[in-house]
Amino acid sequence: MAYPEKVLANDEKVVEHLHPHWITLVPATLWFIVICAAGGAGIAYAPDHGTSRKIVIIAIIVVGVGLLLWLSFSPWLAWRTTHYVITSHRVLIRRGIFRRTGRDIALSRISDVSFSQSLWDRMVGAGTLTIESAGENGQENLTNIPRSDQQQQLINRLIEEDSGRRGYGGQPYPQGPPQGPPQGPPQGPPPGQQYPPTRPYQQH
């Protein structure tokens, strides 16, 4: 899903739109399998008939649905509603299902970008991205970022491009070597004109 363009400036472009790494969904997936298997086993071993069977089945279903909402669906929704958006102007962070939080970090205010990876992170291609910026909330730690090393390099490159764009009044760097003074010997008078004659020097 593309990030809503209504939050972007006219000349702003989305360069990367990320969710947390898929590894964060592994526990929720395992809980889904375990709860469904336990619920199926509970129903299979429930009393064969009578009111007690209905009560047991209803209890299993209610408990199973509650556990699925808590341990499986809730983490999935949290993953789906967490956005890390890197644009040509800033880094946008959005989190939350019912209570939304967000932060925008302009590239011009970022002073340092670093990443850290454990051995497991390197195996699965994840990591923690740390963004240092000016302001009250100077440091932002983004955990479980896919390809965190590549995202760090991307943000650094965008910072340089943004700095160059601001330095040249919104225009890109000029192409080619800088223009210097005209080369070659001085040019003579325009065609059809002559220099006025010089008067000879007379010694007194």
User: What confidence score (pLDDT) does residue 39 get?
Assistant: 94
User: What confidence score (pLDDT) does residue 65 get?
Assistant: 96
**Mean pLDDT over residues 131-146, rounded?**
88
Same domain, 56 and 101: no
Q: Examine the pLDDT at 38 and tell me if it is beyond 60.
A: yes
- CB-based burial of residue 13 (10 Å sphere; 0-12 exposed, 13-18 middle, 19+ buried)? exposed
Please tell me whether the overall predicted TM-score, pTM, comes out greater than 0.75 for this model. no
Q: Which domain holds residue 103?
A: 88-168
Q: What percent of the chain has pLDDT over 90?
A: 58
- H-assigned helices in 49-201: 51-68, 74-80, 119-124, 148-167
Task: Assess if residue 62 is contained within a domain.
Answer: yes
- pLDDT tens digits for 56-85? 999 999 999 999 999 999 999 999 999 999
Same domain, 101 and 75: no
CATH for 117: 2.30.29
Sheet with strand 128-133: strands edge to edge: 110-116, 128-133, 139-142
Q: Examine the pLDDT at 161 and tell me if it is beyond 70.
A: yes
Same domain, 72 and 112: no
User: What confidence score (pLDDT) does residue 1 get?
Assistant: 45
User: What confidence score (pLDDT) does residue 199 get?
Assistant: 57
Task: Assess if residue 189 is contained within a domain.
Answer: no
Same domain, 99 and 133: yes
Count structural domains, the chain.
Answer: 2
Same domain, 128 and 60: no
Same domain, 69 and 93: no
Task: Assess if residue 98 is contained within a domain.
Answer: yes
Same domain, 115 and 69: no
What is the C-alpha to C-alpha distance for residues 93 and 203, in angstroms, rounded to an integer?
Answer: 86
User: What confidence score (pLDDT) does residue 178 get?
Assistant: 52
Q: Examine the pLDDT at 203 and tell me if it is beyond 90.
A: no
Of 52, 80, 108, the position where a domain reaches its end is: 80
Of 61, 80, 99, the position where a domain reaches its end is: 80
Task: Assess if residue 57 is contained within a domain.
Answer: yes
Same domain, 76 and 107: no
Task: Assess if residue 68 is contained within a domain.
Answer: yes
Task: Assess if residue 109 is contained within a domain.
Answer: yes
